[in-house]
Amino acid sequence: MNLRNPAWLLAPALLFFAFFYVLPLLDLLQLSVAGDAGLSFYARVFEVPLYWESLVRTFGIAAAVAALCALFGYPTALLIHRARGTWKLVLTAAVVLPYFISVLIRTYSWMVLLGRNGPINKLLLAIGVVDAPLPLIFNRASVLISISAVLLPLMVLTVGGSLARIDPLVQRAATASGAGPLAVFWRVLFPQTLPGLLAGVLLVFISALGFFITPSLLGGPADQMFAMHITQQADFLASGGFLQSLAAVLLAVTLLVVAVAARFLGLEFIWGGQRAGKPVRDVAHSGSASWRHAVFGRVLDRMADAFGWPLLRALGAVPAWLGRLVSGALAAVAFLTLLLPIAIAALISFSDSAYMRFPPPAYSLRWYEKFLSDPVWMSSLGTSVAVGLLATAISVVLGTAAAFGLVRSSLRGKTAWMTFLVSPLIVPGVVLGLSLYSLFLRAGLAGSVPGLAAAHAIGGIPLVLVIVAASLQAVDMRQEQAAAVHGASPLRVFWFVTLPAIRPGVLAASFFAFLHSFDDLVLSMFLSGARMTTLPLRLWGNVNYKLDPVPAVVATFEVALIVAGLFFARSAWAARQRR
């Protein structure tokens, strides 16, 4: 093994993905056209109004969610970017914290908030806005609000990364040239962050396409999304390949959106990277393309003269305080949407009531005692912890090795390899779960801790890869070269120089990989079987049939876990910076 050219370190992750990711998806496609049915199952998807209308509805909901996240996420990212010191840290934590809390738990909190006896209706009644509780749940509005709240952190973090790459001197130069605050925003800041905003919109849109938990709990019959048909019919897996054709259509739609987006933004938008600028070609070799660009440029100039500059002059007359007020109000609504469900769930966890009720009539620890003393809940918790730890170990080992192989090697086509390794992030969970089901049945992995951990690692490896690769790129290679010059072997250089430098990134990646596995519901629904119940599966049954405050207890424990993890991650990073 040649440690001096570590491209071979990609092999373990590639082999793992070949068996647990590529093979199941190919098997799903084969089952969708197997037998005498051929393409008839696909024809049924587009001929039956139930499925076709659901697909169109899913596009509409995903587009509306992406628009809402852009409207509220951009001002939030801008507010965090302009904050300083402790205030910036607090605002960032307020976005990161909800992002890693289970979607099921956040949906449960929205059920409380929007319920007939929830705090929103009680507030409206108290101030006399309405005379009777409003139907805020089981409709399209509740679906849009809750999905947007779940995916809003993804938008904020994506736009925030784009803002962080802007040279602050450019904005200062524009201000020194006499441009007003709004003109600086529209002419300098917004154009430079537009690729990040578009990447955030696309990531939110793609993520929303595969949603089923939130619309199942908060939507009505007219709000069924396409992924819900797959989960609702999952009990009839033996009824031919129609279910596989539904999953294949959802996968094809998702990949089509990604392909169109990659045409304009590059595939790097999937993992938060930035597309490298293309070299300018000589006019003599560009031919008709150069002519088209010239015509397009003249059209843009005419549009700027006719509409752009008058609009900028009008914006210049708008007081700067008004723009800051509107932006701050949108950001405040975003933070309220992110944090209020967590606060409500924490209060309900201390309720003495036998069901979800806010405000609690009395406070007690009865539901904490119920959760900690119930062997059924403890068994589910133990299963999730065991699966999570094993999935984390697989993800960290394979993801770190792959990151080292990509960053430190001279391998060609790194973008293509990176895209393949992070592609599970864009594949809908229901598609991946259904594709793995047949493989796990044949391999005897269904209902086993190793099998479920391997399935969870499919999503954990990309998280580790992205985080560790970023940490490796920040390491000063001269330290590694100095150690090698003094006779250290490549393995000793990695162990004593590289690994200590990237340890905060590896620890953060381990933490996020564990949370990814611990919170997973979709893959667990398909692969746990009757022999094993994870904590998310137990919560799913509780939210659907009992609606007692135990999920609020789990939410509070998870928030405490994430806060502790973020605190230790920050401490480790600060210690590294001091060194």
Q: For residue 278, what pLDDT is reported?
A: 47
User: Do 10 and 105 fall into the same domain?
Assistant: no
Reduce the secondary structure of 493-523 to three states and give it as a string.
HHHHHHHHHHHHHHHHHHHHHHHHHHCCCHH
**What is d(CA 501, CA 314) in angstroms, rounded to the nearest whole number?**
51
Q: Is residue 323 domain-shared with residue 445, that is, in the same domain?
A: no
- pLDDT tier, 307 (very low <50, low <70, confident <90, very high otherwise): low
Do 238 and 386 lie in one domain? The reply is no
pLDDT tens, 354-367?
777 777 888 888 88
In this structure, what token pair is assigned to residue 393? 């170990």
Percent of the chain with pLDDT over 90: 27
> Does one domain contain both 451 and 504?
yes
Higher confidence at residue 169 or residue 391?
A: 391
pLDDT, tens only, 200-211: 899 999 999 988
Under the banding of pLDDT at 50, 70 and 90, the label for residue 541 is: confident
CA distances from 426 to 5, 251, 252, 416 (A): 30, 9, 11, 15
CATH of the domain at 121: 1.10.3720.10
Residues 110 and 161 occupy one common structural domain: yes
Question: What's the pLDDT band for 281 if we cut at 50, 70, 90?
Answer: very low
pLDDT greater at residue 83 or residue 279? 83
Check residue 280 and give its pLDDT. 40
pLDDT above 50: residue 285? no
Mean pLDDT of 384-390: 95
The answer on pLDDT for 292 being more than 60 is: no
Task: Give the H or E element holding residue 203.
Answer: helix 190-209
Domain that residue 213 falls in: 33-275+313-362
Hunting for tokens 């609690």 — which residue is that?
360
Q: Pull the structure tokens for residue 408.
A: 């430190």
Q: What is the pTM of this model?
A: 0.84
CB 482 within 8 A of CB 372: no
Share of the chain above pLDDT 70, in %: 80
CA atoms of 555 and 565, how far apart (whole Å): 15
Q: Are residues 419 and 322 in the same domain?
A: no
Look at 256 and 493; give whichever has higher pLDDT: 256
As for how many domains the chain has, the answer is: 2
Residue 572 lies in a domain: no
Question: For residue 140, is it within any domain?
Answer: yes
> Does residue 108 sit in the same domain as residue 175?
yes
| pLDDT score for 176 | 62
Q: Are residues 428 and 338 in the same domain?
A: no
Residue 21 binned pLDDT confidence (cut-offs 50, 70, 90): very high
When pLDDT is averaged across residues 450-467 and rounded to a whole number, the result is: 93
Check whether residue 338 and residue 385 sit in a common domain.
no
In a domain, 578, yes or no: no
Residue 235: predicted pLDDT: 58
pLDDT of residue 549: 85
Say how far apart CA 228 and CA 210 lie, in whole Å. Answer: 9
Instruction: Report the SS3 class of residue 489.
Output: coil
Note whether residue 244 is domain-resident: yes
Helix residue ranges per DSSP H, 364-476: 366-373, 375-407, 414-422, 429-443, 449-473
Q: What is the mean pLDDT of residues 450-477?
A: 88
Work out whether the CA dihedral 33, 36, 40, 41 comes out positive or negative.
Answer: negative
Same structural domain, 357 and 457: no
In-domain check, residue 191: yes
**Last-in-domain residue among 362, 387, 421:** 362
Does 320 fall in a domain? yes
Report if residue 567 sits inside a domain. no
Residues 525 and 503 in one domain: yes
In a domain, 108, yes or no: yes
Highest mean pLDDT among 127-136, 137-146, 256-265, 483-492: 137-146
Task: Please check the confidence at residue 513 and state whether its pLDDT lies above 70.
Answer: yes
**Same-domain check for residues 15 and 41:** no
